[in-house]
């Protein structure tokens, strides 16, 4: 249980194009999903929180017009990198919050997708 | 953003040895999670801790939620080559966001 998938697993695109990354929770409903970015040999940095049916909440310093997030259903969130540039090349990872039996007590667990390697030429 | 203090940064051990790593924070968390990440993959959840003082095991792995709610440790007993990878601690707050440590790179020599 608690499987999260991402598609595509890797993508190469030209500078100036837009790229969409999908994140799906396969066996549970996730009202909240998260998008992270990870540079080589570094930790995960939270970019935004995606809530089903509402606007995403972005972390300080993350351009919301560049990284468009849509959470249209309880099992799918998408991240679109608009007008991508080489500095956007990175490993993008999503996670889904499993509500579980402890959620009301503030206890929560996040399950991560396998990640998407984006290379912008 | 805020990060946890995770140590050690890296470890080189022989197969069969035990391993210990820990995370500390200046903030209180109500959830502590330990993940393992292999190259090119997403983090995989190893152990979840929800209560101060809680000690939880998952096979050869044991983790504890510090009584002050500001720290946690992970122990791996009798290490094997497949334990190689980067281990991350993560603290969860009331806003459901996770704050990650910088990771511990574990190398196991057969």
pLDDT tens, residue by residue, A3-59: 999 999 999 999 999 999 999 999 888 889 999 999 998 999 999 999 888 889 999
Q: Are A19 and A118 spatial neighbours (Cβ–Cβ below 8 Å)? A: yes
Per-residue pLDDT at A89 exceeds 90: yes
| Partners of residue B87 on adjacent β-strands | B36, B104
Q: Above pLDDT 70, what percent of chain B?
A: 97
**Contact list, A43 vs chain B (CB under 8 Å):** 3, 88, 100-103
Per-residue pLDDT at A104 exceeds 70: no
Q: Are A44 and A106 spatial neighbours (Cβ–Cβ below 8 Å)? A: no
Task: Indicate yes or no: CB of A59 within 8 angstroms of CB of B41.
Answer: no
Give SS3 for A88. helix
DSSP secondary structure string, A58-74?
EPTT--TTTEEEEEEET
Task: Indicate yes or no: CB of A109 within 8 angstroms of CB of B35.
Answer: no
- Torsion over CA: B107, A38, A95, B91 (sign): positive
Q: Is A49 on the interface with B (CB under 8 A)?
A: yes
Per-residue pLDDT at A63 exceeds 70: yes
- Full pLDDT tens readout for chain B, 110 residues: 566 899 999 999 999 999 999 999 999 998 999 999 999 999 999 999 999 999 999 999 999 999 999 999 999 999 999 999 999 999 998 778 899 999 999 999 98
Q: What is the per-residue pLDDT across B56-74, written as a single tens digit (0 to 9) for each?
A: 999 999 999 999 999 999 9
Q: What is the pLDDT of residue A106?
A: 58
Q: Is B63 on the interface with A (CB under 8 A)?
A: no
Average pLDDT, chain A: 91
Q: What is the pLDDT of residue A101?
A: 63
């Amino acid at each position: 249980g608690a499987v999260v998938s991402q598609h595509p697993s890797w993508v190469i695109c030209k500078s100036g194009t837009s790229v969409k990354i999908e994140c799906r929770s396969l066996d549970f409903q996730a009202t909240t999903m998260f998008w992270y970015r990870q540079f080589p040999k570094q930790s995960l940095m939270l970019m935004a929180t995606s809530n089903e049916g509402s606007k995403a909440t972005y972390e300080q310093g993350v351009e919301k017009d560049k990284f468009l997030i849509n959470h249209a259903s309880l099992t799918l969130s998408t991240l679109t990198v608009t007008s991508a540039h080489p500095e956007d090349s990175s490993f993008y990872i999503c996670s889904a919050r499993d509500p579980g039996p402890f959620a009301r007590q503030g206890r929560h667990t996040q399950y991560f997708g396998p990640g998407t390697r984006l290379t912008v030429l | 953003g805020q990060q946890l203090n995770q140590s050690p940064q890296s470890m080189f051990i022989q197969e069969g040895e035990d391993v210990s790593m820990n995370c500390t924070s200046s903030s209180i968390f109500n959830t502590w999670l330990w993940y393992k990440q292999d190259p090119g993959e997403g983090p995989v959840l190893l152990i979840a801790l929800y209560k101060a003082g809680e000690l939880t095991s998952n096979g050869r792995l044991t983790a504890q939620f510090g009584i002050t709610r500001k720290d946690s440790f992970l122990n791996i007993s009798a290490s094997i080559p497949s334990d190689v990878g980067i281990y991350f601690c993560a603290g969860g707050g009331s806003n459901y966001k996770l704050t990650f440590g910088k990771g511990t790179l574990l190398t196991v020599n057969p």
